[in-house]
């Protein structure tokens, strides 16, 4: 069974196999660190994190690199506003990035290279391009000469000749061609600068990604990902730089996620219609935000609205309930006598494996998380039904179901948080046991008023009680 991914380069789904057996090398464009990340930034993080997790589930060793653009015009402007050094501002937003990404259960990348720490590599790359005749200096700047690279436009399917005709009038007359782009920018007064053969300055935006990707992943690496708005010019330029410099293919598969929209319009910092991840996470469960992002195929647009997030919270709760039910079943097993089994376990195990296959088939088909999720919900229902109709569940079936649910929902989709541990939760558990025991006594003497008051008051505190034939259980939320 092979995996297929939609490659922007060819516009088709293609069978994916890594260049190096057993090992996948991938690069995802990271944020420019001048602000907290918004939901639009979060989508590629979650989408490509999920792809990475799935590749790992499939047994690949994944080398996952994501950059930080910690030096560019926006960071410099932000630093100016705040009256702080640019790198200090960047450092702070990098820390905040990890906080937000962590809330969304995004695994750490293998490496997070930063532009400011790769100036030497970037200068070397530009020098090489210059030597090969692909770059030219102009008054302290250095530009890439697009017409020297015949394949320009292949990724974004644009014809450079037509673009030239439609291009805006360039203010910058230093460029030979309006499509040429800066590899190196001369420093303005008071701007952070590094010495270079062309004078003090800083790297252009595109050269950092291709340089760092090549440095850590090598030419011909497997997957390069990012938002669809990066196709042109960013990724087109990366290809031009990398392939002109190295003379060989840069990345094999180009993957692009669709946008988040608000009222059908693209969410972006420049439009000002963006929602910060931290703000959304204060209103909804962070893992529900992750689920919301995975409920739609990664290439389709998602329109952001509260109803969708609310539905995601409910869906997540449904999955969580199944996990809880399974956990209780495990406890029952531990305490159970070797009563005769009342069957159904083998059937469940078979169904579980069937649904696991459906999940895998969905993910193999261009990382179709929406379809994979459907299999996961089906899995939850099968498990619930089994546990509800079986007084004495079979250990093998419960274990198999637990393992698959945790692998697919937890390891691959990243929807399950870690169990809380520590003194506070132990104390809470003890207190709840006590309260439930006392309430149980009230219930036994049919003192419903007391029993209901306890339940209502706990509800107000954010704790839900559920009375079942096997006793009372509780949960947060």
Partner RNA sequence: GGCGCGGUGGCGAAGAGGCUAACGCCGCGGUCUGCAAAACCGCUACUCGCCGGUUCAAAUCCGGCCCGCGCCUCCA
Judged by CB under 7 A, the chain residues 431 through 470 that form the site for RNA are: 443, 448, 451-452, 455, 464-469
Our CB check for RNA shows the closer of 53 and 351 to be 351
Q: State which of residues 18, 40, 113, 201 lies at the interface with RNA (CB under 7 A).
A: 40
What are the φ/ψ torsions at residue 185 (nearest 5 degrees)? -115, 130
Least distance (Å) between residue 269 CB and RNA: 6
3-class DSSP state for residue 243?
helix
Spatial contact of 40 and 274, defined as CB atoms under 8 Å apart? yes
25 vs 224, beta carbon nearer RNA: 224
Residue of 21, 169, 189, 264 that binds RNA (CB under 7 A) = 264
Spatial contact of 99 and 73, defined as CB atoms under 8 Å apart: no
Residues 6+ apart with CB under 8 A from 187: 193, 199, 200, 201, 202
Q: What are phi and psi of 69, to 5 degrees?
A: -85, 95
CA distance between the termini of the chain:
41
Q: Which stretch binds RNA (CB under 7 A): 41-49, 76-84, 214-222, 346-354?
A: 41-49
Contact indicator for 146, 171 with CB cutoff of 8 Å: no
Cβ–Cβ < 8 Å for 107, 61? no
Is beta strand 181-186 parallel, antiparallel or unpaired with respect to 141-144? antiparallel
Q: Which of residues 281-300 bind RNA (CB under 7 A)?
A: 295-297, 299-300
Q: Tell me how far apart the alpha carbons of residues 281 and 267 are, in angstroms, rounded to a whole number.
A: 17
Which listed residue (110, 177, 261, 399) binds RNA by CB under 7 A?
261
Q: Which is nearer to RNA, 365 or 411 (CB)?
A: 365
Query: What are the phi and psi torsion angles at 434 (to 5°)?
Result: -60, -50
Nearest approach, Cβ of 274 to RNA (angstroms)? Answer: 7
Query: Are residues 6 and 231 in contact, defined by beta-carbon separation less than 8 angstroms?
Result: no
Residues numbered 134 to 193 that lie near RNA (CB under 7 A) are: 156-159, 162-163, 166-168, 181
One-character DSSP codes across 143-156: EE-GGG-TTTTTTT
Between residue 308 and residue 327, which ones bind RNA under the rule CB under 7 A? 308, 310-311, 314-315, 317-318, 321-322, 325
Q: Which is nearer to RNA, 20 or 301 (CB)?
A: 301
d(CA 459, CA 247): 65
Smallest distance from the beta carbon of 21 to RNA, in angstroms? 28
Of the pair 217, 355, the CB lying nearest RNA is at: 355
Using CB under 7 A, pick the residue from 7, 196, 211, 257 that binds RNA.
257
- In the complex, the smallest distance separating the C-beta of residue 155 from RNA, rounded to whole angstroms, is 10
Q: How far is the CB of 387 from RNA (least distance, A)?
A: 7
Among 230, 277, 287, 348, binds RNA (CB under 7 A): 230
x/- track of binding to RNA for residues 54-83 (CB under 7 A): --------------------x---------
Options 146, 223, 302, 329; binder of RNA; rule CB under 7 A: 302
Identify which of residues 247 and 272 has a Cβ nearer to RNA in the complex: 272
Site for RNA in 331-370 (CB under 7 A): 365, 368, 370
Stretch near RNA under the rule CB under 7 A, chosen from 128-136, 238-246, 377-385, 430-438 = 377-385
Identify residues 85-124 at the interface with RNA (CB under 7 A): none
**Beta strands 260-262; 302-303: pairing state:** parallel
436 in Cβ contact with 474 (< 8 Å): yes
Question: Are 372 and 408 contacting, i.e. CB atoms less than 8 angstroms apart?
Answer: yes
Nearer CB in complex with RNA: 195/433: 433
- Give the closest residue to 292 by CA, choosing from 306, 275, 312, 310: 312
Measured in whole angstroms, how far is the alpha carbon of residue 264 from the centre of its chain? 22
Using the rule CB under 7 A, which residue among 385, 391, 437, 453 binds RNA? 385
CA distance 182 to 237: 10
Using the rule CB under 7 A, is 371 a contact of RNA? Answer: yes
* Least distance CB 61 / RNA (angstroms): 25
**In the complex, minimum distance from the CB of residue 153 to RNA, in angstroms, rounded to a whole number:** 9
What would you report as the CA-atom Rg of the chain, rounded to the nearest whole angstrom? 27
């Amino acid at each position: 069974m092979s995996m297929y991914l939609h490659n922007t380069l060819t516009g088709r789904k293609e069978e994916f196999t890594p260049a190096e057996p057993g090992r996948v090398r991938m690069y995802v464009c990271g944020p420019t660190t001048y602000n907290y990340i918004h939901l639009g930034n979060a989508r590629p993080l979650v989408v490509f994190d999920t792809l990475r997790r799935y590749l790992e589930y499939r047994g690949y060793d994944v080398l996952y690199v994501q950059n930080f653009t910690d030096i560019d015009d926006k960071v410099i402007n932000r630093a100016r506003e705040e009256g702080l050094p640019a790198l200090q501002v960047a450092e702070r937003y990098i820390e905040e990035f990890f906080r937000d990404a962590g809330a969304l259960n995004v695994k750490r990348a293998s490496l997070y290279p930063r532009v400011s720490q790769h100036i030497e590599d970037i200068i070397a790359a530009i020098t090489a391009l210059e030597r090969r005749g692909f770059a030219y200096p102009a008054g302290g700047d250095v530009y890439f000469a697009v017409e020297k690279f015949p394949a320009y436009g292949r990724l974004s399917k644009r014809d450079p000749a037509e673009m030239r005709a439609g291009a805006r009038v360039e203010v910058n007359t230093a460029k030979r061609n309006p499509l040429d782009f800066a590899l190196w920018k001369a420093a303005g007064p008071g701007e952070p600068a590094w010495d270079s053969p062309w004078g003090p300055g800083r790297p252009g935006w595109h050269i950092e990604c291709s340089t760092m990707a090549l440095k850590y992943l090598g030419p011909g690496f497997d997957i390069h990902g990012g938002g669809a708005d990066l196709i042109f010019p960013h990724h087109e330029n990366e290809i031009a730089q990398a392939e002109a410099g190295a003379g060989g293919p840069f990345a094999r598969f180009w993957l692009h996620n669709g946008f988040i929209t608000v009222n059908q319009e693209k969410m972006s910092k420049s439009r000002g219609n963006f929602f910060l991840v931290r703000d959304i996470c204060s209103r909804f469960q962070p893992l529900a935000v992750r689920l919301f992002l995975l409920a739609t195929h990664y290439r389709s647009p998602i329109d952001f609205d509260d109803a969708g997030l609310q539905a995601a919270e409910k869906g997540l709760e449904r999955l969580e309930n199944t996990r809880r039910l399974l956990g209780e079943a495990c406890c029952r097993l531990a305490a159970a006598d070797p009563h005769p089994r009342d069957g159904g376990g083998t059937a469940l195990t078979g169904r579980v494996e069937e649904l696991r296959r459906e999940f895998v088939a969905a993910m193999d088909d261009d990382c179709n998380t929406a379809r994979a999720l459907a299999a996961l919900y089906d899995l939850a229902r099968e498990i619930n039904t089994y546990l509800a109709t079986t007084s004495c569940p079979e250990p093998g079936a419960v274990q198999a179901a637990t393992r698959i649910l945790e692998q697919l929902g937890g390891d691959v989709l990243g929807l399950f948080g870690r169990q809380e541990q520590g003194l506070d939760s132990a104390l809470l558990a003890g207190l709840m046991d006590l309260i439930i025991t006392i309430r149980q006594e009230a219930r036994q003497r049919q003192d419903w008023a007391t029993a209901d008051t306890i339940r209502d008051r706990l509800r107000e505190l954010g704790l839900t009680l559920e009375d079942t034939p096997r006793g009372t259980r509780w949960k947060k939320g």
